[in-house]
Each structure stands twice: as structure tokens, then as C-alpha cells.
Chain A
Amino acid sequence: MDRTQKKGFVISGICVGLLVLAYMFNPEKAFFLDLIINGLLVGLMYALVALGFVLIYKATSAINFAQGDLVMFAGYAAAFMMVDLGAPLLVMVVVVSVGMVLFGFLQERLILRPLVGQPIVSVIMVTIGLAFVLQGLVTILWGAKTRELSLPVSDDPIILGPVFISPINLVAGLIAIGFLIAFGLFFTRSRLGLAMRAVADDQQAAMVVGIKVPSVFALSWGIAGLAATAGGIIWGNQIGVDTFLNLIGLKVFPVVILGGLDSIGGTIIGGLILGVVESLAAGYFDPLVGGGTKDFVPYVLMILVLFIRPYGMFGHETIERV
């Protein structure tokens, strides 16, 4: 554990401490607890979407502005298979996952690889172009109508003392945790995961020890496609599959800036913090300003973090200062 990580844990500890304090001196304990628990669950789902983003940034140092659109694309494909074709859940998950992984390979080969060595703005722009292509493609392929992507989970809320949790949120949160743990193990235990970390650390050195950098790039886009599939199914279930599903992508930025652009653990913590902050802000400020706080507070938080700790809570302190 290096210094940055230690600081990150100290900051998260402070956050938890503040929340506990706020809980102890809160007149409406049940309402507060409800906001926090549901915020945490939503936060996990944000983390899941952000994961694909961080993976690509870690391995290829490209910012993927199309992550939200990949989520939308996967969500559309899933909804199309389940609603229009009536495929069983398991078949759908397998087909969409494989499809998205292949699609990720394709993107890397066709779009990203020719841009190696170009300025950052070009790489950003190419992913924005990809976002447009995906937006146009989903409606041309599958039509613009909203589809309900229902998972076989009951609708009755689970009541834990004063807190109401909807089971689907819980399932989504569990899936997110599962994914995050699996990726965590993949990166620390498997050869491929280590290779990806090596490439992220120093491409040239990785080449010297015999890692095939282009295939690692392709792999990271493939895995990002997998994360997008999970995100698409879960978020599609939460808010319905239509062309607005890609707006989830905009929430990724506060998450990754909070957690650190290149840290998987940071993504989880960033997602959790964002979920809680959003939920608290919506609970306490929405009545005052008439709604919409959820679309505002994350970005203010992000700007503050950028000013104070631009590399986030767990990111590498590589921001140069002049």
C-alpha cells in the first residue's frame, strides 16, 4: 500500500465517520438511513459502469466517452432478445456478453489502434464519434420505442427495520459486487490481468518482457464490453431501455474522478460516495429547489475534487505541475 492509497483510505474513513456523526445527530434517523442504504446500492451500479471506463483508461490511457453508449447498446441488445425474441435470461446474457466482447475487439482494431500516438483530443473525439454511431445504430437496428427489461425478481420491498429496499436494487448491487470482486481477482491473480497492469504501467517495458501490447489493448476493450453488458442489463432494468440510457455515461466521470482514473478499488469507493451524496442531496435539497439536484451535485463535487485532489482518492499522483 503506497502513500496515495493510505490517504485514500483516510479520506474514506473520514467520510464514513461524518456519515455516522450525521446519523447520530439526525432527528429523522429512519429517513436518513433509507437514503444512505439506497444511495449505496445505486452507487454500486454506478461503479459497475465506471469499471469499463477505468479498465480502458488503465490499459490504453484513452478516455472513453462512449461508455454510456456502450451500456445503452448492450441494454438494447438485451431488451431486444428478451422482449422481441423471447429468449430465456441465461441465453440472452451469454449471447449479449459474447457479442459485446467481440464488438469491443472490433472497436479497438478499427478505431482506436490507428490513433495510437495522436493527441488526446483526437482520441476523445473518436470515442465521441463512436458514441454517435452507437446512438444512430441502436435506433436503426431496434427502433426507438422504450422496452421494459424485466429480470425475474419480485417487486415487494424487503423491509429491514425502518429501511425499505427494493429487491431488484439489492440484486443489482450484488451483481455489481460480484463483478468488482471478479475483476479485482483477475487483476491481482491471473497472468492476463498482470499483463494488463504491466501495460498500463509502462507500455515499452511491457513489450520488452514479451507482453503483446496490442492484444492487451483489445482485451481491455473486450472486458469493457463485458462490463457494459452488465451495466446495460442492470440499468436497463432500473430505468427502462431507450435512447436516454446512455446518460448514465455522464455519471461515470464524477465516479472516476472521485476514485481516481486508474484505480479499480477507487471506482467502487467513488461510486459509493457518489451514490450516497446524490441520494442525500435528492432527499434534502430537492424539496427546496424543485428537483433536479441529482444532475447537478455530482458535477459540483467533481469540480471540487479536481481542484483539491485532481488524481482522486486512489489514483496515481502523476498530475504534473508547472
Chain B
Amino acid sequence: MIHREAGVFQTSYEGDMSLYTLPLAKLTNGVMLLILIVGLPLLLGPHKMSIANTIALSAIGAIGLNILVGYTGQISIGQGAFMMIGGYTAAILSSRYGWPFWLGIPAGGVTTMVAGTLFGIPSLRIKGLYLAIATLAMQLIVPWMINHIKWIGGDLGSIYVDTPECFGFVFDTEYKRYYLILVFFLLAYYGAQNLVRSRVGRAFVAVRERDFAAEIIGVNLFKYKLLSFAVSSFYAGVTGALYTYYLRIANYENFELPVSIDFLAMIIIGGLGSVFGSVLGAIFIRLLPVALDLTVPVIAEGVFGMSYQNSANFLANFQLLIFGVLIIGFLVIEPAGLARLWEHVKRYFRLWPFSY
């Protein structure tokens, strides 16, 4: 991941597809893991830790969406709706039926998986733009149902849940919750890395490239499209459930259309069809508002002499503007996203300093 990839001389297909193409990779992955487990909590204060938590949570959802959009090529603008289903399932189970969180999260994932698979069935008939519009409809219908069906959302459309607790261990600080989220993040990351280099992952890519051709070479489209929807919505459900436990409230406003667009932006800026890219995209999209928060008011007040009120107003709109410009810029200049940029950097340093 962060090592130089010099000296890769694979002689077999298995070697080429392996998770660690070099012995060094195990070491660098170990170092990264150590940084994530020990380093970050030591370095970051509680506020920064909460940002790290949001990034890790978003990364799980982004990886899930990338499996569907980036690898299988089925456009979905409904990631927020799937997260909603997962979050409300977990919230209902734990607040009304007393399920512990370690059952609530998988339950949220599985329910969303069922919903996602059902929703994936029309993807056999409609594709491309039409599928995007259908998922958009889902994004608008699910919150309406939560809001208007009393059994799901209660009177206010939101459900409070207790602080997650596991055999007397209460996840009550940002640091403790970080480890909870980290476990799921690592499972999601390595799960996806392994999935995409397996037979299933190759089938997904074949479906993305041209579904007719995939069918002809023996990829069962029905199976793999549904599987992709299932895996992706499972990820989304887990993200939604985790987020609900993290905030201790299930609220549909946290998963509305702009959230789905955020996730789509993450995988596009990060790189379609790259698990690592999804993580980069999540980091980018979640850090962007933080960075703008820190810089824009200073410039607006200091350089242009705006009042605090005006600069706060300006910030909110400027954020939208920058967000839009960045999305457009990335798509126009580097359509393959941050993952490709990272590849370029690594390629440059591959033979460094003795490149010719």
C-alpha cells in the first residue's frame, strides 16, 4: 500500500492476484494497522477522533457503494436509503426488543441486504440511467415511509438507542467507539479487497464491462447482479446501523439525498473500481468541510473584512460551491480519481532515485 512496488516479478496468475504481491507488503500493511490501532488514538484529541470516526464510518459505506457502482457498474443514488433501512432496523430492534448492538448491527445489515436484493431485481430489466432514476425514487420513498408509518419512525420519525454496551464494557467515549468502528472498517476493507480479486469480483467486473458479453462467457447475470446489490446493501446497512449506534439516534435526516450524493462523490473522487480509492475518497470528502471551516472564515474576515455573521453564511455556500467545483474538476481532469493519482506517485518512486 505505502511501499514501493519495485521488484514485482510474478510468474503465476495466483501470484499476480494475491493480496500481498511482495513480502514487504505484509510489513507495510502491519505498520498501517499499528498506526490505525495505536497511533491515531494517541495522536488525536477527542474532537479530531470524532472526525476520524466519521471518516471510518463513511469509508465502510463508500466501499460498499464502490462494489455496486465501481465494480459492477450498476448506478445507485440510493445508498442513503439503504443506510436508513439498516439504521432503523438496528434502532427498532435494540430500543424496542432489547437486542444488544452486536446483534443489532448484523441484523441491520441483513435486513438491508434483503431489501437491496429485492430492489436489485429490476436491475435485470433496467440499467444505466433508468436504474439511477429508480434508486433515486427509493431515496425519496423510504424517508417518506419512515415519516408517515408510525410503527417505523414513531411520532417524530427518529428513534433513540442506548449507548452500545458489550458484557459490561460501555462504548461511551470517542476513543472506545473508534475501536468499535475500526473493527468493522477493517472487516469491510479486507473483505472487499478479497472479494474483488475472487471469482465473484471478476464476474462483477465482467458485468460492468459489457453484460451481454459476460452472459455469453458464462457469467450468470441474474446471480451476480443480485449478489452485487446484496453485498453493497449489506455494507450500507452495517454503516447505517453503526452510525445509529454511534450517534445514539436513528434519524432519517442523516441519510437523505445529499448523503447519497456524498457517497457517490466519495467513490468518484476516490476512484471507481478501487477499494483503496473508496477510503481515500471518504477521507477527502469528510476532511474537505473541516479544512474549509478552518480557512474560509479566516480569509473572509481577515482579507475581505466580512463580519462573523456574513462569513459564516458565506462559508456554508462556499462549501457547496467548492464541493461542486471539486467534483467537476476531478471528473474533467482525472476521471479515475485519487486512486489513480496515488498510482502515479507510486510509479514515479518505483525506481527512484535510479530511474532513467
A236 within 8 A of B: no
Find chain A residues with CB under 8 A from B261 CB: 128
B40 within 8 A of A: no
How far apart are A241's CB and chain B's nearest CB, in angstroms?
A: 16
B195 within 8 A of A: no
The answer to whether residues A257 and B133 also contact, given A121-B272, A125-B327, A322-B212 and a CB cut-off of 8 A, is yes
Which residues in window 5-31 of A have CB below 8 A to B?
none
The reply to whether A126 and B264 contact each other, CB–CB distance below 8 Å, is no
Find chain A residues with CB under 8 A from B144 CB: 292, 295-296
In the bound complex, how far is the Cα of B322 from the Cα of A290, in angstroms?
A: 39
The reply to whether A253 and B137 contact each other, CB–CB distance below 8 Å, is yes
A180 within 8 A of B: no
How far apart are A110's CB and chain B's nearest CB, in angstroms?
A: 8
The reply to whether B140 and A295 contact each other, CB–CB distance below 8 Å, is yes
The reply to whether B331 and A136 contact each other, CB–CB distance below 8 Å, is no
Of the listed stretches B108-116, B233-241, B310-318, name the one at the interface; the rest are far from the partner chain: B310-318
Out of A121, A126, A306, A320, name the residue touching B75 (CB < 8 Å). Answer: A121
In the bound complex, how far is the Cα of B103 from the Cα of A42, in angstroms?
A: 49
A170 within 8 A of B: no
Find chain B residues with CB under 8 A from A139 CB: 313, 316-317
How far apart are B151's CB and chain A's nearest CB, in angstroms?
A: 14
Which residues in window 89-125 of B have CB below 8 A to A?
122, 124-125
Find chain A residues with CB under 8 A from B327 CB: 125-126, 128-129, 132
* Interface 0/1 of A116-146, CB less than 8 Å to B: 0011111011101111111111011000100
Find chain B residues with CB under 8 A from A295 CB: 140, 144
Find chain B residues with CB under 8 A from A257 CB: 130, 133
Of the listed stretches A160-168, A202-210, A297-305, name the one at the interface; the rest are far from the partner chain: A297-305
A111 within 8 A of B: yes
The answer to whether residues A302 and B321 also contact, given A126-B332, A292-B148 and a CB cut-off of 8 A, is no
Out of A63, A135, A250, name the residue touching B132 (CB < 8 Å). Answer: A63
Question: Which residue on A lies nearest to B326, using beta carbons?
Answer: A129
B351 within 8 A of A: no
Interface SS of B by simple majority:
helix
Find chain B residues with CB under 8 A from A121 CB: 69, 73, 75, 132, 264, 268, 272
* Interface 0/1 of A234-255, CB less than 8 Å to B: 0000000000000000100110
Find chain A residues with CB under 8 A from B73 CB: 119, 121
Interface SS of A by simple majority:
helix
Find chain A residues with CB under 8 A from B322 CB: 136
Out of B124, B211, B320, name the residue touching A132 (CB < 8 Å). Answer: B320
Find chain B residues with CB under 8 A from A126 CB: 327-328, 331-332
The answer to whether residues A130 and B75 also contact, given A136-B318, A290-B148, A299-B140 and a CB cut-off of 8 A, is no
B324 within 8 A of A: yes
B33 within 8 A of A: no
Range, interface on chain A: 35 or more
How far apart are A2's CB and chain B's nearest CB, in angstroms?
A: 20
Find chain B residues with CB under 8 A from A132 CB: 320-321, 323-324, 327
Find chain A residues with CB under 8 A from B317 CB: 135-137, 139-140, 144
* Interface 0/1 of B309-349, CB less than 8 Å to A: 00001101111111111111001100100000000000000
B147 within 8 A of A: yes
Question: Which residue on B lies nearest to A252, using beta carbons?
Answer: B133
Question: Which residue on A lies nearest to B121, using beta carbons?
Answer: A307
The reply to whether A124 and B75 contact each other, CB–CB distance below 8 Å, is yes
> Which has the most chain B C-beta neighbours within 10 Å: A133, A134, A302?
A133
The reply to whether B125 and A321 contact each other, CB–CB distance below 8 Å, is yes
The answer to whether residues A322 and B124 also contact, given A131-B324, A132-B324 and a CB cut-off of 8 A, is yes
In the bound complex, how far is the Cα of B138 from the Cα of A136, in angstroms?
A: 26
The answer to whether residues A310 and B125 also contact, given A63-B132, A125-B265 and a CB cut-off of 8 A, is yes
How far apart are B46's CB and chain A's nearest CB, in angstroms?
A: 31
Question: Which residue on B lies nearest to A254, using beta carbons?
Answer: B137
The reply to whether A122 and B331 contact each other, CB–CB distance below 8 Å, is yes
The answer to whether residues A130 and B129 also contact, given A292-B147, A322-B211 and a CB cut-off of 8 A, is no
In the bound complex, how far is the Cα of B75 from the Cα of A128, in angstroms?
A: 14
The answer to whether residues A136 and B272 also contact, given A253-B133, A310-B130 and a CB cut-off of 8 A, is no
Which residues in window 96-127 of A have CB below 8 A to B?
111, 114-115, 118-122, 124-126
Out of B125, B137, B332, name the residue touching A299 (CB < 8 Å). Answer: B137
How far apart are B222's CB and chain A's nearest CB, in angstroms?
A: 9
Find chain A residues with CB under 8 A from B128 CB: 120
How far apart are A130's CB and chain B's nearest CB, in angstroms?
A: 7
> Which has the most chain A C-beta neighbours within 10 Å: B136, B316, B317, B325?
B317
In the bound complex, how far is the Cα of B69 from the Cα of A267, in angstroms?
A: 29
B287 within 8 A of A: no
In the bound complex, how far is the Cα of B69 from the Cα of A114, in angstroms?
A: 21
In the bound complex, how far is the Cα of B142 from the Cα of A300, in angstroms?
A: 11
- Excluding A292-B148, A306-B133, 6 further A-B contacts by CB distance (< 8 Å) are A115-B335, A130-B324, A132-B327, A144-B317, A303-B137, A322-B211
A residues with a Cβ closer than 8 A to B are 63, 111, 114-115, 118-122, 124-126, 128-137, 139-140, 144, 250, 253-254, 257, 261, 289-290, 292, 295-296, 299-300, 302-303, 306-307, 310, 319-322
Q: What are 7 A-B interface contacts by the 8 Å CB criterion? A: A118-B335, A119-B73, A121-B69, A121-B268, A124-B132, A126-B328, A129-B323
B residues with a Cβ closer than 8 A to A are 69, 73, 75, 77, 122, 124-130, 132-134, 136-138, 140-141, 144, 147-148, 211-212, 215, 221, 261, 264-265, 268, 272, 313-314, 316-328, 331-332, 335
3 closest pairs, A vs B, by CB? Answer: A132-B324, A136-B321, A129-B327
